[in-house]
Structure 1
Amino acid sequence: MTTWHWVRHGPTHQKTFTGWRDVPADLSDRAALDRLNAHLPDDALVISSDLIRSVDTADALQGTRTRLPHDPSLREFHFGTWDGVGFDTVSDWHPDLSRAYWEEPGHHTPPGGESWNVSAARVAAVVRRINAAHPGAHIIAVAHFGVILTQVQAVLGVSATEVLGHKIDNLSVTTLLPKSGSATHINHLP
């Protein structure tokens, strides 16, 4: 059984929707990176989304681990026209849709973006492909808040609404054993 160690990229300090915009991560907290690195298995394969905040975080954790190519299917949710816009502004633009997007995640789609369900299917395809290519391996996947939540949802078998209550901090690891139905979440904070 493949074990997934989902790492959320370093903080971006953005106060807006941050999906497919390519913004850098703040990786100045070496102590937090060292704690995270010490927790992760040395023999794991490393993969990340192709966005710079994930790529740079994965680079900081790679060490002697084998690196798989960056995968654009591990990108954060595509927020469309909401990307880079403040939450209050989006609420003013689309009050009903913006509320439904978070309160009833699933098929609601931001203008020009993708829904929770579409994002979850995109990520699930990568997980299936990697599981088939590397059975029994440990995978360190450096990705994003929404991406990690879709996988917690899949493993726990809960609704998107229920999984939104989970906290996924920057530079934290969420270890998932997909077929066993178990999940652990460990925060590594300064």
Structure 2
Amino acid sequence: MSETTMITLLRHGEVELGNVFCGSTDPALSDKGWAQMQKSLESEESWDKIITSPLQRCHEFAESLATQEELELLVNDQFQETDFGDWEGLSPNDILEENAATLNAWWKAPTRVIPPNGEAFLDFRSRVLKAFNEVTETHAGQNILLVTHAGVIRVIMMHILGMQDENLFRLNVDYASLTRIRIYNDETGEWGTLLSHG
């Protein structure tokens, strides 16, 4: 017997801090960011559940939507963005002035170079995929909305597409973009397909 699980990934919208490294930092959505997320979901149907990162740029919108749609809201810490360590709250230009070599090395090899005092990519990937697999198992056969971050969405897409880690930044994830994934589960095992992204 086969079972199909639908997962829609929604990235948060623009935040009040602007264009800075914003992983564990917890800024609020800007008014524009809130509107971006509302617009992305205008033509969407409802879900069985909403799962969200605990950070307020995801959680506040998800909580509002869950209340409006009368849906269960689950908060999962494992879907937080990666921690950029000493780069948190800084713009790329700020870092280029202080530590251009490390930033340039990270841009070229984001899965092998770790921001100073930041989270290693392999640790980040491990926690995200563990949580994602738990979601597909626990909520099999359901239609789930996951409100989260660009890094989390990249990791999940790379997993579904079988991409190599070093191609991380080949995946563009805009503010309030939607990514749809379908997970099949039958006697041959579990496998996923990317339905749409953008």
Normalization by structure 2: what TM-score? 0.83
CA RMSD of superposed structures (Å): 2.1
Matched, 1:6 2:24: no
Q: Which has the higher strand share?
A: 2
Aligned residue in 1 for 2:188: none
CA contact (8 A) 2:62 2:73 kept: no
SS in 2 for 1:3: strand
1:97 aligned to which of 95, 102, 113 = 102
2:58 aligned to which of 45, 54, 57 = 54
Matched, 1:152 2:164: no
Question: Which has the higher Rg, Structure 1 or Structure 2?
Answer: 2
Query: Identity over the aligned pairs, expressed in percent?
Result: 23
Cα deviation, residue 65, structure 1: 4.8
CA contact (8 A) 1:80 1:112 kept: yes
**Is the alpha carbon distance of 1:34 and 1:91 closer, same or farther for their aligned partners in structure 2, counting shifts above 3 Å?**
closer
Aligned residue in 2 for 1:67: 72
d(CA) in 2 for partners of 1:166, 1:55: 24
SS in 2 for 1:69: strand
Normalization by structure 1: what TM-score? 0.86
Cα deviation, residue 121, structure 1: 1.2
Gaps of 5+ in 2: 184-190
Gaps of 5+ in 1: none
Aligned residue in 2 for 1:40: 44
The count of residues paired between Structure 1 and Structure 2 equals: 186
CA contact (8 A) 1:79 1:114 kept: yes
